[in-house]
């Protein structure tokens, strides 16, 4: 049986946008009724079963963006310490307020997660950990390490007189 | 079955393009390597920073100045600041390139993020030098 891909001549994507890219032209096809449709792009998040690997992947990105925002706090701390004792104590008072504590806790958890999962990513980049099931195990290890690491840091903060 | 002698592959990429190895996006693997190398640097630096901040606790201003004036602390703090904002802008670049499809908006967002990263990095470095020197 000869199968030939018939490119709709002069076809436009259903939303009316002009095809400017050959990759986009290939994404246009006909459904069984002969109607021109835009093919769905992968990944189709709505049809995938939620998995620990995908959830952790998106969490890596979310924590990364959150840490970028959190880096502002680190710069504030440095600038205040460079300016005057009054400015420094102002920032320090904020970090021990309930809002400061909440932000710092979120920042710590995001940092520990991004660090642990980042090491997992580096192992993948080096070619390790791709065996079936291993990536799930390492994912659970990362989540456990994040919980333990974050709790340990905050035990030191709250019990060690660091507060 | 065709005669194997008749089988040929046309490579549209020029020899020069292949030798340069920059690919269709014209930046090669520079971004990928930059992200990994800065991650490798940040893993120990971040652990050291967490340890340091926990040790400092609710330190007085003088204690922070004394801590930062140690040459080793100064070097590690400066490296941490540089690596953090380098890694940050590489990561945010990936996020923007994935989600902002309009070319103009994407360019604007990238310029804003890269500009902010440079400003924050220089601010952090000047502050560290002012504290430590």
B10 occurs within a structural domain: no
Interface contact A78-B131, CB threshold 8 A: yes
* Other beta carbons within 10 Å of A115: 21
Residues B49, B79: contact at Cβ < 8 Å?
no
Confidence band for B91, pLDDT divided at 50, 70 and 90: very high
Q: How far apart are the first and last CA of chain A?
A: 75
B 77-96 near A (Cβ less than 8 A): 81, 84-85, 88, 91-92, 95
**Nearest residue to A29 via CA among A38, A17, A18:** A38
Task: Compute the nearest-CA separation of A145 from chain B (Å).
Answer: 14
pLDDT in tens, B29-74: 889 999 999 999 999 999 999 999 888 877 889 999 999 999 999 9
Interface contact B124-A78, CB threshold 8 A: yes
Topology of A52-159 in CATH?
3 helical TM bundles of succinate and fumarate reductases (1.20.1300)
**Nearest residue to A64 via CA among B44, B106, B95:** B95
Residues of A in contact with B61 (CB under 8 A): 81, 85, 88-89
For residue B121, pLDDT beyond 60: yes
ipTM for this model? 0.85
Written as one string, the DSSP assignment of B16-73 is HHHHHT-TTTTSTTHHHHHHHHHHHHHHHHHHHHHHHHHHHSS--HHHHHHHHTSHHH
Q: What is the CATH number of the domain that holds B124?
A: 1.20.1300.10
pLDDT in tens, A84-102: 999 999 999 998 899 999 9
Q: Extract the tokens encoding A110.
A: 């995001």
Residues of B in contact with A156 (CB under 8 A): 54
**Predicted pLDDT at A25:** 66
For residue B130, pLDDT beyond 90: yes
Instruction: Supply φ then ψ for residue A65, to 5 degrees.
Output: -65, -40
Cα distance between residue A105 and residue A112, in whole Å: 11
A-interface mutation test, from B46, B58, B122, B123, most A Cβ less than 10 A away: B58
Cα distance between residue B66 and residue B76, in whole Å: 15
Q: Which of A72, A88, A111 sits opposite B61 (nearest CB)?
A: A88
Nearest C-alpha in B relative to A124: B36
Whether residue B100 lies within 8 A of chain A, CB to CB, comes out as no
B 47-76 near A (Cβ less than 8 A): 47, 50, 54, 56-58, 61, 64-65, 68
User: How many distinct structural domains can be found in chain B?
Assistant: 1
**Predicted pLDDT at A150:** 96
Instruction: Supply φ then ψ for residue A38, to 5 degrees.
Output: -90, 125
B12 occurs within a structural domain: no
Q: Which domain holds residue B102?
A: 30-132
Any idea where the domains of chain A sit in the sequence? 7-41, 52-159
Cα distance between residue A49 and residue A62, in whole Å: 20
Residues of B in contact with A92 (CB under 8 A): 58
Cα distance between residue A130 and residue B63, in whole Å: 47
Q: Extract the tokens encoding A123.
A: 């192992």
Residues of B in contact with A21 (CB under 8 A): none
pLDDT in tens, A7-31: 444 445 455 555 556 666 667 777 7
For residue B59, count CB atoms less than 10 angstroms from its CB and return exposed for 0-12, middle for 13-18, buried for 19 or more: middle
Quick one: how far is CA A136 from the chain centroid?
Answer: 17
Q: What are the Cα distances from residue B97, in Å, to B33, B82, B91, B101, B107?
A: 17, 23, 10, 7, 9
pLDDT in tens, A51-75: 888 899 999 999 999 999 999 999 9
B116 occurs within a structural domain: yes
Looking at every residue in chain A, the average pLDDT score rounds to 83
A43 prior amide bond cis, ω within 30 = yes
**Predicted pLDDT at B4:** 67
Residues B120, A72: contact at Cβ < 8 Å?
yes
Interface contact B127-A82, CB threshold 8 A: yes
Cβ contacts of A68 within 8 Å, gap of 6 or more: B88, B91, B92
Task: Compute the nearest-CA separation of B20 from chain A (Å).
Answer: 23
Interface contact A82-B130, CB threshold 8 A: yes
B96 occurs within a structural domain: yes
Nearest C-alpha in B relative to A156: B54
Cα distance between residue B63 and residue B76, in whole Å: 17
Task: Give chain B's length.
Answer: 133
Whether residue B38 lies within 8 A of chain A, CB to CB, comes out as no
């Amino acid at each position: 049986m000869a199968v030939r891909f018939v490119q709709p001549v002069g076809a436009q994507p259903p939303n009316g946008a002009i095809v400017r890219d050959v990759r986009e032209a290939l994404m246009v096809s006909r459904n069984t009724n002969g109607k021109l449709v835009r093919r769905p792009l992968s990944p189709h998040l709505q049809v995938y079963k939620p998995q620990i690997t995908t959830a952790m992947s998106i969490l890596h990105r979310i924590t990364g963006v959150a840490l970028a925002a959190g880096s502002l706090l680190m710069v504030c701390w440095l600038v205040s310490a460079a300016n005057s004792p009054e400015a420094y104590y102002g920032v320090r008072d904020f970090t021990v307020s309930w809002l400061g504590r909440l932000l710092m806790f979120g920042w710590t958890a995001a940092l520990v997660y991004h660090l642990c999962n980042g090491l997992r990513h580096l192992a993948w980049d080096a070619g390790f950990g791709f065996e079936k099931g291993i990536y799930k195990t390492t994912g659970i290890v990362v989540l456990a390490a994040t919980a333990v690491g974050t709790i340990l840091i905050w035990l030191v903060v709250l019990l060690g007189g660091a507060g | 079955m065709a005669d194997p002698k008749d089988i040929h592959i046309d490579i549209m990429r020029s020899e020069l393009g292949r030798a340069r190895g920059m690919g269709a996006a014209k930046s090669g693997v520079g971004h990928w390597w930059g992200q990994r190398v800065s991650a490798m640097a940040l893993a120990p630096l971040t652990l050291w920073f967490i340890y340091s901040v926990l040790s400092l606790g609710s330190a007085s201003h003088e204690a922070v100045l004394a801590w930062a004036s140690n040459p080793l602390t100064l070097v590690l703090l400066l490296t941490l600041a540089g690596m953090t904002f380098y890694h940050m802008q590489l990561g945010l670049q990936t996020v923007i390139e994935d989600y902002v499809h309009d070319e103009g908006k994407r360019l604007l967002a990238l310029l804003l993020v890269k500009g902010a990263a440079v400003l924050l990095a220089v601010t952090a470095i000047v502050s560290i030098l002012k504290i430590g020197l």
